């Protein structure tokens, strides 16, 4: 059945399935035929179509009833090897950079948001929508600050990790005096510069991250922002990046970032990973346990303000993605 859906994603039958999904899950008709067509194209299987509707805020608030926890509480620990050797971490980051350099050359916008509308052959017609979506990510950040009585200090310097093609950077630029936006892919950065220049944004410095240690060369900053980025790095790289970033966060500074923190049956073994994955250009998804994030935060004097279970990875059963809001304690 799954293969049938994939092979007929453009047909009226697939679109009819989308219409009935609106009726069954949301108790209403779809807004337009265009939305029906796009939803059908973006749903490669029946399970993906179902997940699109059951994970939507409209379904959860109006029709989903009590949210089902993604974990039941009896899950075993994940088998994740701790790696602190700088040479090993450098090799892992080189692999990540090579994969994302390839994606930046082949399909840069689709690598940021994996929606068929943002494939190279279609992205020009949908570019405004692609970049407008970045504003929604930033609004989640500002909402988190507001509900916790926090604000970005005047004249703030921001660090954005994994800026991609500048989809969020363009909006982040309005919150700070200076934005340092880093990425491992030179082609993503080139497209980010084009987008920022077209948007009249002049307070963003774009930096290619070649080593984890490069973070220490960027100076100190007042706020750190990163979503749907750290998850594409193996756990030792996530930990090393957060360690150096939180070290450079100024006293009183804010950190807002997203990381998947649990996945059933996930494991990381350095040697096995190097053998099985290095050389591949596939997009990867990784996790770092909450306890490791809390440990790193505590080591750099950061207090946890808020942690929420987010939807960035789809809220699948057996998997958790969290968005963290931290504040670095004032000196003294």
In whole angstroms, what is the distance from residue 46 CA to residue 52 CA? 10
pTM > 0.95: yes or no:
no
Classify residue 193 as exposed, middle or buried by CB count within 10 Å of its CB (0-12, 13-18, 19+): middle
DSSP state letters, 48-71: HHHHHHHTSHHHHHHTS-SPPPS-
DSSP tag of 183? E
Tell me what pLDDT residue 58 has: 76
Domain extent listing, the chain: 2-62, 79-328
Tell me what pLDDT residue 1 has: 36
Tell me what pLDDT residue 250 has: 97
Q: How far is CA 312 from the centre of its chain?
A: 6
In whole angstroms, what is the distance from residue 127 CA to residue 123 CA? 6
Report CA-CA distances (Å) from 153 to 54, 145, 227, 258, 297.
38, 12, 21, 22, 21
Tell me what pLDDT residue 141 has: 97
Tell me what pLDDT residue 29 has: 86
Tokens in use for 81?
């090897």
Tens digit of pLDDT per residue, the chain (332 long)?
Answer: 344 344 444 456 888 889 889 888 888 888 888 888 888 887 878 888 888 888 777 777 666 655 667 888 899 999 999 999 999 999 999 999 999 999 999 999 999 998 889 999 999 999 999 998 899 999 999 999 999 999 998 999 999 999 999 999 999 999 999 999 999 999 999 999 999 999 999 999 999 999 999 999 999 999 999 999 999 999 999 999 999 999 999 999 999 999 999 999 999 999 999 999 999 999 999 999 999 999 999 999 999 999 999 989 877 788 999 999 999 999 76
Neighbours of 26 (CB within 10 A): 15
Query: Are 251 and 221 within 8 A, CB to CB?
Result: no
Q: Which CATH fold would you assign to the domain 79-328? A: Rossmann fold (3.40.50)
Q: Helix or strand or coil: residue 177?
A: coil
Closest C-alpha among 297, 292, 290, 324 to residue 310 = 324
């Amino acid at each position: 059945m799954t293969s049938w859906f994939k092979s007929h994603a453009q047909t009226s039958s697939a679109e009819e399935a989308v219409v009935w999904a609106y009726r069954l899950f949301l108790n209403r008709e779809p807004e337009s035929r265009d939305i029906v067509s796009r939803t059908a194209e973006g749903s490669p299987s029946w399970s993906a179509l179902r997940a699109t509707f059951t994970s939507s805020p409209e379904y959860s608030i109006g029709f989903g009833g009590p949210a089902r926890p993604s974990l039941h509480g009896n899950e075993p620990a994940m088998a994740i090897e701790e790696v602190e050797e700088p040479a090993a971490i450098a090799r892992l980051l080189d692999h990540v950079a090579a994969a994302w350099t390839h994606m930046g050359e082949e399909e840069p916008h689709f690598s940021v948001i994996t929606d068929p509308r943002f494939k190279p052959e279609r992205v020009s017609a949908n570019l405004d929508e692609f970049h407008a979506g970045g504003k929604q990510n930033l609004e989640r950040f500002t909402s988190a600050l507001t509900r916790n009585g926090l604000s970005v200090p005047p004249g703030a310097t921001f660090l954005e990790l994994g800026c991609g093609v500048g989809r969020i950077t363009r909006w982040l630029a309005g919150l700070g005096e200076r934005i340092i936006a880093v990425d491992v892919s030179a082609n993503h950065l080139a497209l980010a510069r084009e987008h920022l220049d077209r948007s009249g944004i002049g307070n963003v410095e774009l930096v290619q991250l070649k080593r984890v240690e490069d973070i220490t060369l960027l100076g100190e900053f007042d706020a750190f922002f990163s979503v749907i980025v750290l998850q594409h790095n193996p756990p030792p790289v996530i930990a090393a990046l957060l360690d150096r970033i939180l070290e450079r966060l100024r006293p009183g500074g804010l950190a807002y970032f997203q990381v998947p923190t649990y996945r059933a049956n996930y494991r990381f073994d350095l040697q096995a990973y190097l053998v099985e994955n290095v050389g591949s250009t596939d997009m990867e998804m990784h996790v770092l346990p909450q306890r490791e994030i809390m440990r790193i935060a505590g080591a750099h004097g950061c207090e946890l303000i808020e942690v929420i279970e987010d939807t960035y990875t789809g809220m699948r059963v057996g998997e958790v993605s969290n968005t963290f809001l931290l504040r670095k304690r004032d000196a003294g």
